[in-house]
Chains A and B, each alone.
Chain A
Amino acid sequence: MKGDLLRGHLDALLLAALATGPTHGYGVIGRMRHTSDGELELAEGTVYPALHRLEQDGLLSCTAELSQGRRRRVYALTEDGERALAQHRAEWHRFSSVVTRMLMAATA
């Protein structure tokens, strides 16, 4: 699945990846790859500006932790982030069911 298809959904995917607990950027990528069974082909570098933007918008919090001798920035969902994720889920559910109905109707 190409990254182009993800355009507009990256924020929601990042919030969803962090819903299971705080982690750093590489951990976020690992969770996305694991959950999608390697189907997502995302340029990994694009994750960082998006994480920073979500942090600026108050949807993520960020703390510095020392891990394996490196200072890592660990991201976590805030309460606003949890609300935004719930909203993304509801919108996606509506959107996907409408698109599915339309695509299936065309073949019926």
Chain B
Amino acid sequence: MITPDRAGDDPVEAYLDAVLSNSPGTPRQVRRTLAEVEAHLADSVRDLQAGGLPPAEARAEAVRRMGAPVAAVDRPWPAGSLRLPRPVRRRLVLAMLQIGGLAGLFLGVAGAIAAAIQAIWGSTAIATAFPPGSYSQADCRRWLAAYPHSHGCVAAMISDHAFDFQRNAAAAGVLGVLLLLARHWLRRRWPGLPTATESLVGAGLAALCTLVFAATGFDAATVTRGQGVGQPVSLALAAGCAAVLLAGAARRSAGRPFWSRRA
């Protein structure tokens, strides 16, 4: 047994101090390593004394056998390795699936909002026409064939553009749902990873998108007198919803007691 006044001279105590001060991990990792190393040294000293070494020599020999204190601590990023540690890789995958999935899902929502705007104000609220001279007669024939009840080539072209936007938004929505399902499945397979940061980053990105699309919508409303304003407005509304939901998720996660913040 080492008394506090002798601790400074004791190799075991000095070794444990060095392990503690060289540990770069989380508090839990550090406590775990220290507990394991301390138990290891206690066993080693006991066996060496049982083998005939005096107590002081047994303690010094046990420490010598451990090697450098820095070799006993976990390195979050192994020296010479460009490969990310597995928990970091998994968090990145989950974060990309979360942000990409929500982006796709809310693009789908934007498509639904655009469909509602189109139903009320018509296709010109969603899409604009190409400049005159930038399309051919063949293009016109194709658009009129797809929208035979349109009043001329320009109206058919705008209907086609509005349909394209809604089709692409619906495809993004389906893809988003698939990505979120994949994330849900992976989260069940990879328990114990924190998620609050990802939600906060996603909320920030969604808020930024809200501002950009709102500004684009305002620009469209003033420059084109409302033509095509439905696209940026629907995107801004969907991004705003995503920002609020993600901020709520981040806040709920951060508001939990610190020991239950993991997924």
Contacts and interface: CB of A to CB of B under 8 A. Distances in A.
Interface of A: 24-26, 29, 43-46, 48-49, 52-53, 56-57, 70-73
16 contacts: A26-B39, A43-B65, A45-B37, A45-B66, A45-B67, A45-B71, A46-B72, A48-B36, A48-B73, A49-B71, A52-B29, A52-B32, A56-B86, A56-B87, A57-B86, A73-B36
B40 interface: yes
A13 to B, nearest CB: 16
B100 interface: no
Contacts, number: 61
B39 A72 contact: yes
B179 to A, nearest CB: 24
Nearest to B73: A49
B43 A49 contact: no
B23 to A, nearest CB: 10
A5 B12 CA distance: 28
B37 A70 contact: no
Most B CB contacts (10 A, CB to CB) among A44, A46, A56 go to A44
Contacts of B73: 48-49
A44 B69 CA distance: 10
A56 B190 CA distance: 11
B68 A70 contact: no
A43 B68 contact: yes
A53 B68 CA distance: 19
A70 B36 CA distance: 10
Q: Which size bracket describes the interface of B in this complex? A: 20 to 34
B87 A24 contact: no
B32 A44 contact: no
A73 B39 CA distance: 10
Interface string B63-102: 0011111011111000000000111000000000000000
Contact of B32 (A24, A45, A46, A73): A73
Contacts of B67: 43-46
B68 A45 contact: yes
A35 to B, nearest CB: 17
Contacts of B69: 45
B79 to A, nearest CB: 11
B195 interface: no
B150 interface: no
A45 B5 CA distance: 26
